[in-house]
Amino acid sequence: MKKFLKLLLIAVIFTGCDALKFDDDINVSPNSPSQASGPQLTANAMLYLSQLSGSTQGLQGQFAAQYLSETQYVVASLYPQGGTSFYGFYQGPLINLETVINTTTSNNQKAVAKILKAYYMWHVTDRWGDVPFSEALKGAENFTPSYDTQEAIYDGLFALLNEAVGLIESGSITSDVIYNGDMTKWRKFANTVRMLMALRLSEVSPQKAQTEFNNALNAGIMASNADNFTFRHLADANNQSYWHGQIVVMGREWWALSKTLVDLMKPYNDPRLPVYGDPSRNGGEYNGLPIGTAPAGANTEDYSLLGSYAKQQNATLHIVTYAQALFAKAEAASRGWISEDAATNYNAAITQSIAQWTGSTDAAAAYLAQDGVAYSSARALEQIATQRYIHLFMNGFEGWAEYRRTGYPAMALSAGAAVPNRMSYVATESFNNSNNYNAAVQRQFGGTDDIYGKVWWDKN
């Protein structure tokens, strides 16, 4: 009996509840479908995107990237020493997308499902390292999937994105809350993700990185902010921003801009700073709170709390953007991967970032003209990485990944602890999938599963 319950638990973890169907023919009403359609499953997978910025999960990314500091429960912003779970991805969006891939007859629907699967798996492997991929999502066929190496996962995701783009045809899809069925934008998004993935390999496999980068670039990437991959909340309590619910509705002013972030923006009068945070109520200055530090006397009045961006009920989450693509091109040009001009792309990236966040480019020229911001080939990687970090505000997991890859910007200790290099695996993997878990931990980290082991591409 105990063995059966263990297998049942593993089935739920890696296949979702759809695997536990004992008799589909009992009490089924023909007027009430019991199975979701492909468009519904894909839309549900899209809804999960909001958790990557908001929610308890999203907070882990904001703290790891040092975008936010906790004001109320300071211990919450300390880096998680214990395990964190990737089960939600497999139980939720990934199994839904896998179902669509295996059952739909629509090429466009299949293409979007493959693109989203690639995006989610990229996110998962960059947080944890080696994870189940080729043997995952098989249901009863395999309750204990092996962990693929991160290198193999990246190869698989490059291939998956290429397959997806090849499937796209004229027409559209329904229930698309991201691009409203526009397959041209899905194609650009897929190629942009492939290009950003390629850049992630800059220090571990530069030749492969250059090849994949150029293949993606030549296939057609985002061309304006109108192509941005965003999640738009609604002015409705059931679909509102996590931050609006926490700050405005519940009155939880628990998050201030970090000192790391404010110190990069304030000296240059960065036009994005008033969007990111509010001036302190005591003195009207922009002051960042050191990560992992309690405000003196529990007084938040001296620090810049989250601003208008977070407080909007229908806030837009910027997930993959045109400015990101331009920063990537600037870095690729500085590395000699492409023939374009690095400074031109760097200036355009900052200009488009300011437009994205403020709705105007009016302040861009003055900002770019300042010493320290103006492009310098001698400091190219540092400048590009720093400005990309500022742009990626509240896209914490991506900002954290780029910090790990480049080492920029410099980040402070959090109560004596350095920024983590990864998230450790959830503890239950050690007995649910012990052989494969142990093999993965030994292969990557010499047997120690903690937050300071490095993922494959992290050579900084």
pLDDT in tens, 174-195: 999 999 999 999 999 999 999 9
For residues 46 and 172, membership in a common domain is answered with yes
For residues 48 and 180, membership in a common domain is answered with yes
For residues 280 and 389, membership in a common domain is answered with yes
- Tell me how many domains the chain contains: 2
For residues 190 and 264, membership in a common domain is answered with no
Residue 15's pLDDT is 44
Flag whether 28 is in a domain: no
Look at residues 122, 320, 121, 352 and name the one whose alpha carbon lies nearest to residue 229. Answer: 320
Flag whether 240 is in a domain: no
Flag whether 279 is in a domain: yes
Flag whether 411 is in a domain: yes
Asked if residue 396 lies in contact with residue 358, where contact means CB atoms within 8 angstroms, the answer is: no
For residues 315 and 412, membership in a common domain is answered with yes
Flag whether 154 is in a domain: yes
Flag whether 321 is in a domain: yes
The CATH number assigned to the domain holding 168 equals: 1.25.40.390
The parts of the chain modelled with pLDDT lower than 70 are: 1-34, 296-298
For residues 455 and 389, membership in a common domain is answered with no
Predicted TM-score (pTM) of this structure: 0.92
450, with CB counted inside 10 A (0-12, 13-18, 19+), is middle
Name residue, tokens 């983590």. 420
CA separation (Å) from 59 to 65, 243, 278?
10, 10, 19
For residues 416 and 430, membership in a common domain is answered with no
Residue 362's pLDDT is 97
**Residues 55-94 as b or e (16 or more Cβ within 10 Å = b):** eebbbbbbbbbbbbbbbeebeebebeeebbbbeebbbbbb
For residues 44 and 129, membership in a common domain is answered with yes
For residues 267 and 416, membership in a common domain is answered with yes
**d(Cα 97, Cα 110) in Å, to the nearest integer?**
9
**Residues 115-135 as b or e (16 or more Cβ within 10 Å = b):** bbbbbbbbbbbbbbbbbbbee
For residues 133 and 154, membership in a common domain is answered with yes
Residue range of the domain that includes 381: 67-72+252-420
Flag whether 351 is in a domain: yes
Flag whether 26 is in a domain: no
Residue 24's pLDDT is 40
**d(Cα 322, Cα 318) in Å, to the nearest integer?**
10
* DSSP helix/strand/coil, 287: coil
Using CA atoms in the order 393, 394, 400, 402, what is the torsion angle rounded to 10 degrees? -40
